[in-house]
Amino acid sequence: MDPYQAERERMVAYQIASKGVKDEKVLAAMRKVPRHRFVSEDAQAYAYVDSPVRIGKGQTISQPYIVALMTELLGVQPEHRVLDVGTGSGYQAAILGELAAEVHSIERHPELAETARATLEALGYKNIQVHVGDGTEGYAPAAPYNRIIVAAAAPSVPQALLDQLSEGGRLVIPVGSRYSQQLEVWVRRGDQYQQSSNIPVVFVPLIGKQGWQG
Ligand code: SAM
């Protein structure tokens, strides 16, 4: 048995379910995916604490609660194709891989993408592809997506991501200044988009053509 299983059970009970995340499929995925495998060995002791963890290149793996909350807001179904912008460690992609048919994850730092790819492969995920590139432009070759999730803060919603949503598709993204944002949910209805949800969050910047300029 995985020695970290008990830590994951505690993480879900005390950091996630207790704060209001109810979706049983999301909770099951958070109990299953070995978060410690997505951080360096010297950071493994911190993998299940209630905060972000450094993963190199000045980036972080998001706090467990935020991963669970965003995944719940996304409402992933088993037949869905999902785009994950900001692969980082690959942890969020693995959670999505548990819930969706197909996951495309895009990261601007080639080194982070390579490490994430290796981790996901070692864990046996066959439905996740990691790409290197500017995720503010989405990932056109596999579009449209039923769901898009962005794990970095945008000054405004990139038009490319709205364009790459399928009918009824949903986008979850932090939008605001470099230092504080609101978590927004966008749903596509034909050429119209409905926006809802405003939960305060703090993310690293989304850097790219339709994001922050460096
Ligand atoms: N989801 C990740 C995980 O589970 O480890 C954590 C993501 S971290 C908070 C944000 C990531 O977004 C960083 O790895 C950063 O390099 C990446 N990023 C920032 N701007 C990007 C862009 N335009 N395209 C792709 N990735 C980007």
User: 35-93: per-residue pLDDT in tens?
Assistant: 999 999 999 999 999 999 999 888 899 999 999 999 999 999 999 999 999 999 999 99
Pairing between β-strand 192-201 and β-strand 53-56 as defined by DSSP bridges = unpaired
The string of pLDDT tens digits covering residues 86-117 is 999 999 999 999 999 999 999 999 999 999 99
Whole-angstrom Cα distance, residue 106 to residue 85? 5
Instruction: Give mean pLDDT, residues 125-131.
Output: 98
Reported as a pLDDT band with limits 50, 70 and 90, residue 2 is confident
The pLDDT score that the predictor gives to residue 57 is 84
Active site residue 177: no
Mutate to test the pocket of ligand 1, among 33, 54, 55, 59 (most ligand atoms within 8 A of CB): 59
pLDDT of residue 163 exceeding 90, the answer is yes
pLDDT of residue 178 exceeding 80, the answer is yes
The pLDDT score that the predictor gives to residue 3 is 84
CA of 1 relative to ligand 1 center, distance in Å: 31
The pLDDT score that the predictor gives to residue 58 is 84
pLDDT of residue 1 exceeding 80, the answer is no
Are 135 and 85 in contact, with CB atoms under 8 Å apart?
A: yes
Both structure tokens of 149: 């999730």
Q: What residues pair up with 104 in beta bridges, in sequence order?
A: 83, 129
107's enclosing H/E stretch is: strand 102-107
Check whether domain 5-201 has CATH 3.30.1180.10, yes or no:
no
Of the two residues 178 and 197, the one the predictor is more confident about is: 178
Q: Which of 18, 40, 51, 62 is catalytic?
A: 62
The pLDDT score that the predictor gives to residue 214 is 79
Q: What is the CA radius of gyration of the chain?
A: 16
CA of 207 relative to ligand 1 center, distance in Å: 9
Reported as a pLDDT band with limits 50, 70 and 90, residue 10 is very high
Both structure tokens of 123: 């864990």
Mean pLDDT, the chain, integer: 96
